[in-house]
Structure 1
Amino acid sequence: MKKIITALLLASSFAAHTTNNEFTATQLQQVSELRDKALNSDLSYQLLESLTTEVGPRLPGTDNDKKAVAWAKAQFEQLGFDKVWLEEASFPEWRRFSESGKIITPSEQPLHLTALGHSVSTPKAGITAEVVLFETLDELIAAPANSLTGKIAYINYKMNRDIDGNGYGPAVRARSTGSVEAAKKGAIGYMMRSVSTAHHRFAHTGASRYQDGVSKIPNVAIANPDADQIARLIALGKPVKVNINIQTEDLGEGQSYNVIGQFNGTENPEQYVLIGGHLDSWDLGTGALDDGAGVALTMAAAKHISEIKRPKRSVRVVLFAAEELGLWGAKAYFKQHANELDKIVAAAESDFGADVVYGFESNVSAHSLPIVRAIAKQLAPLNVAYIAKNDAHGGPDLIPLKNATSAAIFSLHQNGTDYFDYHHTADDTLDKVDPVKLKQNTAAYAVFAFMAADAKTTIKAKPAK
């Protein structure tokens, strides 16, 4: 709440600094019409419903992933985008086939778990071993050598809940490298509390990785109520044994596609505003929040812009491939376009669910801040506050862009208070999306992209350090 109040105070102070020199009265009227159109359109929800219903889960490399690529291309074409094309992206392909678990001692109880992405299989009968609990990854790292021989390491780190999801980074460390550190100590398996703020009994999956020269051990997350149960049993002071049975497969190099649609600008079509999300999802749910909403709302935002006016610069929607397995589509896109990254005048990704956008933040040259403030003024009717730090990080698929060059990156901050209740679970389904909130997201992206593309002056990135 403190962060929201601070942002609102910042919003109230920027009006005096805003100049209208970048936008004519006619342009601002067009912005108003665009905002209203998006708020009164069901297009983004219709697209999301179609993707999650007709395609469903979209694990990279699966038949459904291929169907999603075909779906996106067809939708772009049907919506009348001027250019629609595919760009190849390769990634390490992985499959989950079955998974189960149970507590063996001191009493037999079901254990709700899921394999983490890239995990190796257990033997057909699973693995059964005593559990050793650690509260943090650092505690596991500090464990004595060979202290986990023949055992299953378990990290019980609890993620905190916050509007901006700031608990995700610290919690995800255990998911990324926990099995590596456990194997170094001799463990035959690795469990972790789900990277989750939920109280429901769904396990949360997500990508993990192994390290060359370190044994690959089965790697799972357990539902938070089960994590609490394990912790209580261990606190009783008697050995707790569990059985983990996951059947997975590493299929080598896979192939998918970034799907791209563009409405061409009228004056400088080679320059473009990049918006989008990632087309793939995990296989447990239907990927409505992660990231079907981002796909749908950015496609719809661009379409609504085209219905009001073609801006000076192009608006490009990029639906990135294989984000969940390691940003592979994003890496491929920015590598392929490495010699023309200066053509991107502004970039923003929607990949944080479908709750309301509450804040707008830039990461641009100081010379471009008048444009930013003008955009922020037009977002204010959507109850979007201006965050004046000018230090936006953007979505995950923009990380390769940030690493490659200085870029004008924007964040349209969504309320993520409940996002990690559903993230990467079987509970990530269409019913979790509020159509009214999705319209507000769509309107915010439409206003941002239109104004960034139609400003008198081209937005510039911060000078490279």
Structure 2
Amino acid sequence: MRAPLWAAMAAVLFTGSILAGDAAAAQRETRIPQAAVDAAGELRERALASDLGFKITESLTTEVGPRLAGSEADARAVAWAQAKFRELGFDKVWTEPVTFPKWQRRSEHAEVLGASAQPLRLTALGGSPGGTVEGEVVRFADLAALEAAPAGSLAGKIAFVDYVMQRAKDGAGYGPGGRVRGRGPSAAIRAGAAGFLMRSAGTDSHRMPHTGITRFDEGLTPVPSAALSAPDADQLARLTARGATRVRVALDCGWDGQATSYNVIGEIRGKGKPDEVVIIGGHLDSWDQGTGAIDDAAGVGLTMAAAKLIGQSKLRPARTVRVIAFANEEQGLYGGKAYADKHAADVRKHQIGAESDFGAGRIYAYSSSAPDYAQAADKQIADALAPLGIEHTPGKGGPGPDIGPFAAKGLAWARLAQDGSDYFDYHHTPDDTLDKIDPKALAQNVAAYAVFAYLAASADGDFGSAPKQVSPPEE
């Protein structure tokens, strides 16, 4: 039986809409031109043979050293970054102000009192108030045990959380370890404690305590809070197992008004779409104990080097490669938040972003938030990274810390996962120094970031950046 005319017309219209939709989808599919893919191979080999990333990292750690946010050295680091971008020949260099509370460390001491009197090696947690406290130590195996302590049960005592952080290639053990540092002091105060001690959030056995920022819940009066080195935590655990143990902790540190530092930004301008950008970078500040080599001079050095090498390519990418040396990541992602707020209206102009803030170990995996229509380009990037020993791991990981606030506003992100097996041996300690960086591993990082940024900047189409509120997965 012949279909009515209206049905035939509807069928034609429906078929036409499908074909039009297919054509639109095909037109929208993001791909990378073969000429750019070929150029990326040459760029990869140049980067592997270059020591530029190491030279930049050496310059920052030697000429500036530790760079506590808001300090005089932090200001020198800002000046260093501007001068280095210009020395490297970046097309545009500027700063954007970032304001935050200023915390200072002056001195720290601790000792066991009584028959087993002896010194303890510790360091104040960032954000801790100063003061001297003395009291009996109460040991807790983990954060949950401390949080279960009844109110008032630790009156006049010092809480000690003896949680042992686990080593992992992807740094997964840092989550539980970091929560002890972030939530432990407030839990101790709610139980009535006069002070807080923790086994450092680290994986080493050296007598070097790990610092890091902590927070105090609103309405609580902060108490002196510090981290013990692993051997000192072991020693204190043995002493408390033998009976009541008294400790004196004396910290001279605390908040001191406001400070302003700067995100320092350099660009290698694109040839066809210079107002659209791929962002890469690391954070410029560090803690004050070591020279901030793996955390995060390496991230600044390798991304500066990657962009410089892109600028030397015969075939420049269409989009601009923007390198950001973020301010004050360590005490609360202040630089990343400031950048996200300032540039939120231009999120569509940001093709994709990636941050290096996990040391200088070899990159072993790549993933991104690319939507379905950009999967072909994402695989092209992954294929270009494969000769570096980098596996494509779709659906895994998340954005770097300073990229996170912008990713929450809709920025597309990529993850170039570094091997962090030994990262937490040195993280936030006096041992975070240049000798912990393998120049060949750092060159592999430079090559990976150069290939990623170059190809993303060369793509025909986008990677999904758009104004929206999302909850990106945590790195």
Deviation, structure 1 residue 175: 0.5
Deviation, structure 1 residue 463: 9.5
CA contact (8 A) 2:30 2:374 kept: no
Match of 1:6 in 2: none
Structure 2 Cα separation of the partners of residues 206 and 446 of structure 1: 31
Matched, 1:393 2:422: no
Structure 1 Cα separation of the partners of residues 114 and 351 of structure 2: 59
Decide whether aligned partners of structure 1 residues 363 and 433 sit closer, same or farther in structure 2, where only a CA change above 3 A counts. same
Q: Deviation digits for residues 234-281 of structure 1, max 9, x if unmatched?
A: 122x10111111101311211100000011111111111010000000
Structure 1 Cα separation of the partners of residues 373 and 114 of structure 2: 65
- In structure 1, stretches of 5+ residues that fail to align are 1-19
Match of 1:64 in 2: 73
Q: Secondary structure at the match of 1:459?
A: coil
Match of 1:402 in 2: 407
Q: Secondary structure at the match of 1:274?
A: strand
Structure 2 Cα separation of the partners of residues 365 and 26 of structure 1: 24
Structure 1 Cα separation of the partners of residues 398 and 349 of structure 2: 19
Matched, 1:168 2:168: no
Match of 1:374 in 2: 380
Q: Which of 155, 178, 191 lines up with 1:149 in the alignment?
A: 155
Q: Which of 237, 250, 257 lines up with 2:255 in the alignment?
A: 250
Q: Which of 246, 266, 271 lines up with 1:266 in the alignment?
A: 271
Matched, 1:221 2:227: yes
CA contact (8 A) 1:52 1:287 kept: yes
Match of 2:450 in 1: 446
Structure 2 Cα separation of the partners of residues 463 and 254 of structure 1: 31
Match of 1:28 in 2: 37
Q: Deviation digits for residues 91-131 of structure 1, max 9, x if unmatched?
A: 11000000111111440122010000011001xxx322110
2:420 counterpart letter in structure 1: G
Deviation, structure 1 residue 24: 4.0
- In structure 2, stretches of 5+ residues that fail to align are 1-28, 471-475
1:443 counterpart letter in structure 2: A
CA contact (8 A) 1:279 1:321 kept: yes
Structure 2 Cα separation of the partners of residues 246 and 443 of structure 1: 44
Deviation, structure 1 residue 328: 0.5
Following superposition of structure 1 onto structure 2, how do residues 401-420 of structure 1 map, counting pairs within 5 Å?
A: 401-404=406-409, 406-420=410-424
Structure 2 Cα separation of the partners of residues 463 and 334 of structure 1: 11
CA contact (8 A) 1:366 1:462 kept: no
CA contact (8 A) 1:131 1:242 kept: yes
Deviation, structure 1 residue 21: 8.9
Structure 2 Cα separation of the partners of residues 21 and 91 of structure 1: 40
Matched, 1:298 2:307: no
CA contact (8 A) 2:347 2:465 kept: no
Decide whether aligned partners of structure 1 residues 286 and 365 sit closer, same or farther in structure 2, where only a CA change above 3 A counts. same
Matched, 1:183 2:189: yes
CA contact (8 A) 2:210 2:229 kept: yes
Following superposition of structure 1 onto structure 2, how do residues 93-132 of structure 1 map, counting pairs within 5 Å?
A: 93-122=102-131, 126-132=132-138
1:138 counterpart letter in structure 2: A
Matched, 1:81 2:90: yes
Match of 2:55 in 1: 46
Structure 1 Cα separation of the partners of residues 153 and 428 of structure 2: 32
Match of 2:141 in 1: 135
Q: Deviation digits for residues 161-193 of structure 1, max 9, x if unmatched?
A: 110000111111111121111111111100001
Matched, 1:360 2:366: yes
Match of 2:321 in 1: 315
CA contact (8 A) 1:311 1:453 kept: yes
Structure 2 Cα separation of the partners of residues 21 and 96 of structure 1: 50
CA-atom RMSD, angstroms?
1.5
Deviation, structure 1 residue 402: 2.2
CA contact (8 A) 1:155 1:192 kept: yes
Structure 2 Cα separation of the partners of residues 240 and 201 of structure 1: 21
Q: Deviation digits for residues 21-80 of structure 1, max 9, x if unmatched?
A: 934443222111100111111111110110000000000111100000000000101111
Structure 2 Cα separation of the partners of residues 278 and 314 of structure 1: 20
Decide whether aligned partners of structure 1 residues 403 and 460 sit closer, same or farther in structure 2, where only a CA change above 3 A counts. closer
The size of the alignment, in residue pairs, is: 440
Q: Secondary structure at the match of 2:277?
A: strand
Matched, 1:424 2:443: no
CA contact (8 A) 2:282 2:355 kept: yes
CA contact (8 A) 2:347 2:466 kept: no
CA contact (8 A) 2:299 2:359 kept: yes
Match of 1:383 in 2: 389
Greater shift, 161-170 or 102-111, is seen at: 102-111
Matched, 1:232 2:252: no
Q: Secondary structure at the match of 1:322?
A: coil
Q: Deviation digits for residues 391-447 of structure 1, max 9, x if unmatched?
A: 54111111211222x221100000011000000000000000000000000000000
Q: Secondary structure at the match of 1:337?
A: helix
Give the alignment's TM-score, normalised by structure 2.
0.90
Give the alignment's TM-score, normalised by structure 1.
0.92
Structure 2 Cα separation of the partners of residues 462 and 258 of structure 1: 23
CA contact (8 A) 1:365 1:461 kept: no
**Higher Cα Rg, which structure:** 2
Q: Deviation digits for residues 346-369 of structure 1, max 9, x if unmatched?
A: 110000000000000111211101
- Over the matched positions of the two proteins, sequence identity in percent amounts to 49
Greater shift, 173-182 or 60-69, is seen at: 173-182
Structure 1 Cα separation of the partners of residues 384 and 150 of structure 2: 58
Structure 2 Cα separation of the partners of residues 127 and 158 of structure 1: 25
